[in-house]
Amino acid sequence: MATVPTVDFVVIDVETACSRVSSICQIGIVGFRDGQEVFAYETLIDPCDEFSSFNTRIHGISCDHVAGKPTFADVHDVVSGHLSGRVTVAHSLFDKGALAAACRAHDLPPIEATWLDSVRVAKRAWPELPSHRLNVLSKFLKIRHKHHDALSDARAAGLVVVRASEHTGVDLAGWMAPTNQRGGTAPQAAPEGPLKGHRIALLGCARNSALAYRLAGHGARIVASVGTTSTMLVISNAQPFGRFFHAHATYRRAEELRDTGVGIEIVAEDELLARIGG
Q: How many residues does the chain have?
A: 278
Secondary structure of the chain: what % helix, strand, coil (to 5)?
A: 35, 20, 45
Last residue of a domain, one of 112, 142, 176: 176
Confirm whether 268 is domain-assigned: yes
Same domain, 140 and 219: no
pLDDT in tens, the chain (278 residues): 334 444 589 999 999 999 999 999 999 999 999 889 999 999 999 999 999 999 999 999 999 999 999 999 999 999 999 999 999 999 998 999 999 999 999 999 999 999 999 999 998 888 778 899 999 999 999 999 999 999 999 999 999 999 998 888 788 888 887 654 445 677 888 888 999 999 999 998 888 888 888 898 899 999 988 888 899 999 998 777 777 788 888 899 999 998 888 889 999 999 999 998 86
Dihedral (CA of 106, 109, 110, 114) sign: negative
Same domain, 236 and 141: no
Q: If DSSP codes are grouped into helix, strand and coil, which group holds residue 37?
A: strand
Same domain, 154 and 211: no
Return the bridge partners of 31, or none.
10, 39
List CB contacts of 100: < 8 A, sequence separation 6 or more.
110, 111
Q: What angle do CA 77, 79, 82 make, to 5 degrees?
A: 105
H or E element in which residue 115 lies: strand 114-117
Same domain, 162 and 206: no
Same domain, 168 and 203: no
Which backbone phi and psi does 169 adopt, to 5 degrees? Answer: 80, 5
Confirm whether 271 is domain-assigned: yes
Same domain, 109 and 163: yes
Last residue of a domain, one of 111, 144, 176: 176
Predicted pLDDT at 184 = 61
Burial group, residue 119, by CB count within 10 angstroms (0-12, 13-18, 19+): middle
DSSP state of 186: P
Same domain, 38 and 167: yes
Same domain, 118 and 241: no
Structural domain for 43, as ranges: 8-176
Q: Where are the alpha helices (DSSP H) in 32-117?
A: 53-59, 72-83, 94-105
Predicted pLDDT at 3 = 42
Confirm whether 241 is domain-assigned: yes
Confirm whether 191 is domain-assigned: no
Same domain, 214 and 250: yes
The enclosing domain of 207 has a CATH number of 3.40.50.10190
Same domain, 47 and 146: yes
Q: If DSSP codes are grouped into helix, strand and coil, which group holds residue 164?
A: helix
Predicted pLDDT at 278 = 67
The enclosing domain of 61 has a CATH number of 3.30.420.10
> What is the distance between the alpha carbons of residues 4 and 20, in angstroms, rounded to a whole number?
38
Same domain, 110 and 144: yes
